[in-house]
Structure 1
């Protein structure tokens, strides 16, 4: 199974989001945050989060890019419990037990999006506020066909320098 992790290429997310996601944390769309927003809510950093921010499941921060990667099934349940707790704390869900199904559905939607792409595929999200609600679209950036030796320097414990 696949899910997506936050990835940063520079420091821009630290400046454009109120709360940036941490590099490497698991992410979902998080569009539910904007379900009752109006055009008046779309200002400043909140507008940036709405326009193209993925939701980090550990910090509830936002990130512009996510990378598709493998996830262990046991970790999915831990993430669902964390998201259900977020629903209780921030959205008034009556309990984690009452919110766990919705949390699992949100994570499953992201897993479905990721499963059709190879590892290291980058994804972006774009949102529009329409009369019918929030509309999301996704952009896919395929991984480059570069040799790993061109991207990384490998060291062994025998290297002394």
Structure 2
């Protein structure tokens, strides 16, 4: 095993290789960062008015009901997207008794102006006597995603 500094010709050749690799990688990274940076800039420059869109929540007794409701909601343009969250447990009071049921949760992204029509659709198509439909305004989010919701769901 040799301990010490490498010879001058090895340093010179190694340095040249390192310089070439650094220049090539720098050019590639510059282009990549420029592309990502421009994308980040364009996302940041889009504006969003807080509360224009809402996330609504509906519980369903099973996956079949959840999928039927979700499909109808999206087909009727009451929402841009419905996530189906399986296997939640709900504990609640109903008619004087504490109940515990397995349910499926719908997480619905829509325009705030569509929440009343969404609630009416759910009430008309849901098997529960009193269907849960609650919504929360979206304060902030990814501007292109929020724009997409607005593009999909008409005023």
Structure of larger gyration radius: 2
More RCO (CA 8 Å, sep 6+): 2
TM-score when normalising by structure 1: 0.18
Kindly indicate which of the two structures has a greater share of residues assigned to helix. 2
TM-score (norm 2): 0.19
